[in-house]
A and B are shown apart, each in its own frame.
Chain A
């Protein structure tokens, strides 16, 4: 946790369930460096508030009236890419996770574990990392393992070189090509080439799928 933060992390809460929202606010406000700067009860209001109150983090429910959380995430990512998005949902299926990731979310939490995970998730994504509820990670890892076992397919991870595995992890943690290049002391061009190879070898199409893959493999949690 960043102890040195001088400015608190500004948070926008979006959930149509008032009790839930109040509980979340209570939870967040007990933390010294977190500040709830707005609350919304539907998707459209969330998008509007994300513009006006300029939050660092948006905590979004998926099932909301008017505009669902995934659509709202997509619009917020488009208009304010600097806002990090945490999805807080009842849904534990990977179809929701991958769609949330594709819409720009970097953290995906189950509502029933929000109380334990939300603080950690907010700190992780405000540092540019991804975060998933342990329950979600576990489901994803288990499914992946079972699939490998049942279909007797080659684990594509074995195809990656050591350097590619390093880059895969950094990308999955949410770092940009430039950041990865800086960490590994490589040129951005080289990182981009590696990234292309990684996606090809793993038969993936984009970064959200890469993140999901990393979670399934247990590379990130």
Chain B
């Protein structure tokens, strides 16, 4: 893939990171904000109730003090023989100062609409007390004379007026409470809207993120699929290449083997022939010349041997001339001669007309296996069986060597054998255990046209 790919990838990763981070931050901020707002609303609510209650209490206080003061004044005026008149006066003073302080407390936190009625109340109260003041200084006679009339004409109306004012303020206070509730409601409304906006923002951002992430994942998937294809293709190409290499090597061996056998061998044989002809015409008594001729002959003879052996070892001509079984039999004899192992070949209905690839495959597998038997397994005897059925060539190579752990050991040329077999679509199996010998089994599919014309002849070793 191009160099732009990693850049695009890292950009996508950045976008995703930022997106998820932003989303989380948004949710955190939203949550925090909601908690703050809720707390604010709650404290506001408590505050409003508290103010209302305080004021209400103050008004109640004023009201009850007013009633009490009325009662005290009436008692004072209408009962001139009262023993504790001085006490009554003292109580009145206390009530007045209490009302004044209540009034003060109320007057401290006022909204615009309240100032006027509160002032009026203040003024009413002042007027109330000021109106009472002269009567309080009356003598008992004065009180007896004018007391009742004062109560009826001055005290009661003034008290009623003040009470009326207090009622008005109470109503205002109530209104204020209701107003506070409305403001709270409004705050809730704003909070709800903010929450909705936040939710919408989070949702849409989440959707966008999901889309980006999904497309990113899809792209990654496509890329990995493409890469997998690439790897598979490379692997197949590698297999193909290795098979071609094996084939090329085989061709080379065949060519060199033929060349050695047909050209070098033939020429040396012709040379031997000519040497014989030459020796026949050289007089017997020319001993040094005869000796030279003899040594040349020996040299040529051993060269023919070398050429013949090399040719056979590279690729036995029987494989191409007569087919698989004679080549296997030669290999068995050869291996037996070299290593001392008893090697037997049992062939059953094997066509001498198998495709070249099949011949070569079986031959090379057997060759490698025999090599292993002698070199690693230290076998005494090896049994090679080849059988051709309607669809397969079955090969088994069994030795009585020391065996190995077939599950662990790979190597011993087994991989190469397996590759050869698999390239022809066959199966390859190794059964071995330490101390129990080894059985190699190969099953090669045979082309259809050949399966029909199996050689009826039974080959004998």
Contact = CB atoms under 8 A, between A and B. Distances in A.
Contacts of A7: none
A30 B280 contact: yes
B337 to A, nearest CB: 7
B301 A112 contact: yes
Most buried by B among A19, A91, A112, A114: A112
A96 B301 CA distance: 21
Contacts of B277: 23, 26-27, 30, 115
Contacts of A95: 318, 322, 326, 329-330
Contacts of A17: 266-267, 270
A17 B270 CA distance: 8
Given A26-B277, A150-B336, A91 B317 contact: yes
Contacts of B336: 146-147, 150
Nearest to A93: B330
Contact of B269 (A26, A92, A111): A111
Question: Interface size for chain B: under 10, 10 to 19, 20 to 34, or 35 or more residues?
Answer: 35 or more
Contacts of A92: 308
Contact of B308 (A24, A90, A114, A205): A90
Contacts of A27: 273, 276-277, 280
Q: Is the interface of A mostly helix, strand, loop or mixed?
A: helix
A112 B304 contact: yes
Nearest to A63: B262
Interface of A: 17, 19-20, 23-24, 26-27, 30, 63, 68, 90-93, 95-96, 99, 111-112, 114-116, 142-143, 146-147, 150-151, 205, 209
Contacts of A116: 276
B401 interface: no
A23 B273 contact: yes
Interface in B270-324: 270, 272-277, 280, 300-301, 304, 308, 312, 316-318, 321-322
Contact of A90 (B269, B316, B340): B269
A114 B326 contact: no
B364 interface: no
Contacts of A23: 270, 273-274, 276-277
30 contacts: A17-B266, A17-B270, A20-B269, A20-B270, A23-B277, A26-B274, A26-B277, A27-B276, A27-B280, A30-B277, A63-B261, A90-B261, A90-B262, A90-B308, A93-B312, A95-B330, A99-B322, A111-B272, A112-B265, A112-B268, A112-B301, A112-B304, A115-B272, A116-B276, A143-B333, A146-B336, A146-B337, A150-B340, A151-B342, A151-B344
Contacts of B312: 93
Nearest to A23: B273
Contact of A112 (B269, B317, B326, B330): B269
Nearest to A68: B321
B273 A24 contact: yes
Interface string B318-351: 1001100010011001001100111010000000
A23 B261 CA distance: 19
A98 to B, nearest CB: 9
For the complex of A and B, the 9 pairs showing the least CB-CB separation, nearest first, are: A115-B276, A23-B273, A150-B342, A95-B326, A111-B269, A19-B270, A112-B304, A20-B270, A90-B265
A24 B274 CA distance: 9
A51 B38 CA distance: 124
Contacts of B280: 27, 30
Given A90-B262, A99-B322, A19 B301 contact: no
Contact of A114 (B265, B273, B381): B273
> Looking at A24, A111, A209, which has the most chain B CB atoms within 10 Å of its CB?
A111
A23 B277 CA distance: 7
A119 to B, nearest CB: 11
Nearest to B318: A95
Q: Identify the interface centre among A68, A91, A92, A143: most chain B CB within 10 Å of its CB.
A: A91
Given A17-B270, A23-B270, 5 more contacts: A68-B321, A90-B308, A96-B321, A147-B336, A150-B340
A63 B266 CA distance: 10
Nearest to B311: A90
Contacts of A20: 266, 269-270, 273
A95 B316 CA distance: 11
A209 B300 CA distance: 32
Contacts of B308: 90, 92
A61 to B, nearest CB: 9
A128 to B, nearest CB: 27
A111 B301 CA distance: 10
Given A17-B266, A63-B262, A115 B273 contact: yes
A115 B275 contact: yes
A105 to B, nearest CB: 15
Contacts of B342: 150-151
Interface in B66-119: none
Contacts of B326: 93, 95
B74 to A, nearest CB: 152
Interface in B191-218: none
